[in-house]
Structure formats: C-alpha cells, structure tokens
C-alpha cells in the first residue's frame, strides 16, 4: 500500500524499487526498508510474478544504505516484574482497573501491543488454572493461523487472570473488544484502544513511579517479560512458547543483554 501510494506499481522494475528505498532511506531504518521490500516481493509472488527485490541492483542499494546510514538501533527499555507491580499498585478507579488488567496481561502474556489491543471477549477462555488467549493474528503470523497464550493464576491481588476478570465485570463488557477507551463520564466506551494508546498508558504509569517515559514504549512489557524470565534462568524454548518467537535469535539477544553482567568475567576477578 505504501509503495503504491508513493507511485509504484505491480509489477515494477528493479530500478523503481531501488529508487523507492533510496528515497525513504533518510527517514526509515534499514530494518523497516527490508520489511517494505518483503511486502513488495510478496505482492509480486502472490500473483505469480518474479520479484524485482531479488535483483543485484536492489540488494546493492540496500547494502549501500546500511553502510551509509548505519546507526545504533534504539530499543525500548524493558519493564521487569518489579516495575510492573509498582505501576499497577497505584491504579485506581475504572481507568485504573483497566490499566491494571492491560499491564498485567500484556506482561504475563509477553504480548505485542497489536496483539493486546486485538483481544476480543471471545478470544479469552477462563479455566480454574488460569486463562488462555486465542490470538488470531500477530506480526509474525501473516497467514492468520493464530496461536494460544496461557497465563496461569498466581497468588495475590495482582493475578493477571483475576484483574482481567475484574475489568470485564466492572466495565460490563460481554462481547467485542476487551481493552477499550474510557469516556469523560468514567464509562467504558465501545471504542477499541489503539496501539498508541497502549504506549501512552505505559508512559503515564512509568512516569508515576519515577522512570523516564521517553525510554519506554508499547514493546516494553513484552521485552520485560523476556528479560525477567532470562534473569530467572528460564530456558529459551520455554520463553518462546510464551512469546511466539519462531527461533531463539531474538530471545538469545535479550538473554545476552541480561547475562553481560551476571556472566561477566569481572565477577571472578574482583
């Protein structure tokens, strides 16, 4: 869609694709450009057409962009379990009940913000042991096969399952979107929260507990789950069962970040 809006067409030539990514290089990261190329490739192959993205010209252009525009990827800070508990402890009112459920489910489910806001009542199945979220589609599941995320019940008032049930009851939500906006009369509306809303909720609560909101985003809950699990020595395969990562590559990235201090050689020197 973005390629067509820019002036591209399907099918197109390698020269056109190369101009497209060169035009957007100052504004987008090389990772985002690579995703755009994947979309263009799919648009061709889905129609039985050869993809221009595989040409030497396009590959050389992307390689040159990566070299000339190399920069450190700014990652959202992770919110570990301690942070999340501090954040939900101060939640009050109907908005607070919603935010508490959103933060805890987002963390315990290791959910992307798109997955979090996409949950409908019919996607939630409660059991004595906890709940199961039936995610219909996610970032890495473009075919819409879906996946299941289990969240067990835990002791205490900050149990994600208990807090989600409390939110649904307090807001009177029986169908449709689970996480919704709240109007000025402190009532849950029919409008589903946006991804940006999730980011703003997180920023508001991290600021309340004394953290810099500029360092956090809608991805901080998911990153925090992986980081906390890695700190506790949870196997990467078990973490992947919750996050839905297809391989250990990204999980290992988080684990390396955690262990660069815990497994540091200095610990055996000093």
Structure tokens belonging to residue 30: 């090389």
213-249 in b/e burial notation, b at 16+ Cβ within 10 A? Answer: eeebbbbbbbbbbbbbbbeeebebeebbebbbbeeee
Structure tokens belonging to residue 15: 């020269």
Helices (H), the chain: 2-6, 14-24, 30-45, 56-68, 81-89, 93-108, 113-117, 160-171, 195-208, 220-231, 236-243, 248-262
Told to judge if 20 belongs to the known catalytic residues of this protein, a careful annotator would answer no
DSSP track, 97-141: HHHHHHHHHHHHTT--HHHHHT-BGGGEEE-SSEEEEEE---TT-
Q: Which one is catalytic: 112, 162, 180, 203?
A: 112
Q: Which one is catalytic: 19, 35, 219, 256?
A: 219
* Main-chain dihedrals φ then ψ at residue 131, nearest 5 degrees: -140, 160
User: In the Cβ-directed half-sphere of 227, how many Cα atoms lie within 13 Å?
Assistant: 20
Told to judge if 112 belongs to the known catalytic residues of this protein, a careful annotator would answer yes
Q: Which one is catalytic: 9, 15, 139, 253?
A: 139
Told to judge if 254 belongs to the known catalytic residues of this protein, a careful annotator would answer yes
Q: Which one is catalytic: 47, 184, 245, 253?
A: 245
Q: Which one is catalytic: 36, 100, 162, 254?
A: 254
Told to judge if 35 belongs to the known catalytic residues of this protein, a careful annotator would answer no
Told to judge if 2 belongs to the known catalytic residues of this protein, a careful annotator would answer no
* 250 Cβ contact list (under 8 Å, min separation 6): none
Q: Which one is catalytic: 100, 113, 180, 222?
A: 222
Return the active site residues. Answer: 112, 139, 219, 222, 245, 254
């Amino acid at each position: 869609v973005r390629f067509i809006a820019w002036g591209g067409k399907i099918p197109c030539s390698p020269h056109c694709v190369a101009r497209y990514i060169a035009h957007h290089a100052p504004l987008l990261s090389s990772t985002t450009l690579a995703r755009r190329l994947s979309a263009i490739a799919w648009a061709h192959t889905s129609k039985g057409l050869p993809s221009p993205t595989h040409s030497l010209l396009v590959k050389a252009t992307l390689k040159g962009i990566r070299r000339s525009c190399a920069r450190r990827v700014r990652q959202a800070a992770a919110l570990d379990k301690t942070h999340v508990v501090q954040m939900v402890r101060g939640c009050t009112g109907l908005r607070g009940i919603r935010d508490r459920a959103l933060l805890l489910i987002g963390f315990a489910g290791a959910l992307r913000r798109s997955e979090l806001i996409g949950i409908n009542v019919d996607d939630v199945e409660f059991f004595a042991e906890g709940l199961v979220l039936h995610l219909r589609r996610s970032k890495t599941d473009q075919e819409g096969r879906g996946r299941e995320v289990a969240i067990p019940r835990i002791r205490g008032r900050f149990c994600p399952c208990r807090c989600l049930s409390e939110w649904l009851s307090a807001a009177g939500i029986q169908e449709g979107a689970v996480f919704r906006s709240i109007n000025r009369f402190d009532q849950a509306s029919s409008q589903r929260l946006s991804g940006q809303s999730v980011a703003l909720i997180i920023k508001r609560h991290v600021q309340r507990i004394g953290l810099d909101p500029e360092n956090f985003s809608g991805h901080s809950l998911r990153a925090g789950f992986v980081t906390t699990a890695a700190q506790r020595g949870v196997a990467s395969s078990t973490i992947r069962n919750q996050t839905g990562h297809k391989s250990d590559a990204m999980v290992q990235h988080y684990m390396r970040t955690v262990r660069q201090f815990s497994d540091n050689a200095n610990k055996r020197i000093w």
